[in-house]
Amino acid sequence: MKKSSGRENDSSGLPSFGERIAQLSVKRQELIRPIQEQPRDYVLLSIRDVARKLGTDPATILRIARGMGFPSYREFKLYLHELAIAGATSLEGMHAATGNDSGLSSHARKALDQDLHNLHALRNTLDFERFLRLAPRIYKARRILLLAGDMAVSLVEFLEYKLAMLGLPVSSATTPGKTLHAVRGLNGKDLVIAISFRRGLRQTVEGMQQARTNGAYCVGITDTFVSPIARFAHECFVTSVEAPFSNSYTAPMSLLQVLFIVCAHYRRSRTLALLKKIDYEQRHGFRWYAG
């Protein structure tokens, strides 16, 4: 497991924390429970400090980590790091942003710096070869269904608009009711792209689960490999949404733009034929201001 905010992975079937601790004795489950509830309080601690905080010894903590399926305490800490990402809230981010240098210009620069960091992480960790293989799946699909909710709706609307430009059979579901109905008719000829961050929005996760049960191929986009989106997708791409306050979708938006570009060039002659029609509308269409 690499520690990287922008890493991507194919982690279908990865057990959740709850499934991992279920392998432990009841006594050890209760001992480790505080870490499950507040991973951020433990992620930076040494094994001795964790043991001291939980009222036990380092050897017991190591045995618990191994009992949960981690070969070393280092691997366990990396997992805690991802849990802390998944459980982060806007309030925690706002508290973390306070400091000696708390002027408005400082906050603005920090936000830009974090976005640049997220983009660099995406650029350095994205498996381009696997990402490129999405294009033929997209063109082969009978239907392309995009799932999201809450703030991630903006990402789905962006991708839906872009794929519609290419004449692809794309639709979206961004409410619980529509998601329920939209996934019901999916089968093995369909493709689902589900987008959700942190712990994962229930409507998106459960919609993807049902789509997968119906046979659709499911692609997830999220910010940590411990997300249920990563766990239940056939394959998943991870990109950071870290920000000084709330989530930043700069890196996920860039990822979707790259996906659009890849699809556009995958069938270049088809795209050029469509763009010739779009070109006339962009030059002469009624939508554009002509004053």
pLDDT digits (tens, 9 = 90+) for 236-290: 999 999 888 778 999 999 999 999 999 999 999 999 999 888 887 878 778 777 7
How many of the other CB atoms lie within 10 Å of CB of 277?
Answer: 10
- Give me the pLDDT at residue 1, please: 35
pLDDT in tens, 215-227: 999 999 999 888 8
- Whole-angstrom distance, CA of residue 65 vs CA of residue 215: 35
- Whole-angstrom distance, CA of residue 214 vs CA of residue 219: 14
Burial of residue 239 (CB within 10 Å: 0-12, 13-18, 19+) is buried
Q: What does the longest C-alpha to C-alpha distance in the chain come to?
A: 76
- Give me the pLDDT at residue 6, please: 39
Q: Between vectors from CA 121 to CA 160 and to CA 81, what angle results, nearest 5°?
A: 100
Task: Report the CATH fold assignment for 20-86.
Answer: Arc Repressor Mutant, subunit A (1.10.10)
pLDDT in tens, 56-80: 998 998 888 888 888 888 888 888 8
How many of the other CB atoms lie within 10 Å of CB of 107?
Answer: 16
Instruction: Please list the residues that pair with 45 across neighbouring strands.
Output: none
How big, in percent rounded to 5, are the helix, strand and coil portions of the chain?
A: 60, 10, 35
Report, at the CATH architecture level, how domain 128-264 is classified.
Answer: 3-Layer(aba) Sandwich (3.40)
Q: Between vectors from CA 229 to CA 224 and to CA 230, what angle results, nearest 5°?
A: 55
- Give me the pLDDT at residue 73, please: 86
Confidence of residue 101 (pLDDT cuts 50, 70, 90): low
pLDDT, the chain, mean:
86
- Give me the pLDDT at residue 8, please: 44
Terminal Cα-to-Cα distance of the chain (whole angstroms): 57
Could you tell me the residue ranges of all domains in the chain?
20-86, 128-264
- Average pLDDT, stretch 87-98? 60
Using an 8 Å Cβ cutoff, are 271 and 163 in contact? no
Q: Select the more confidently predicted residue: 146 or 38.
A: 146
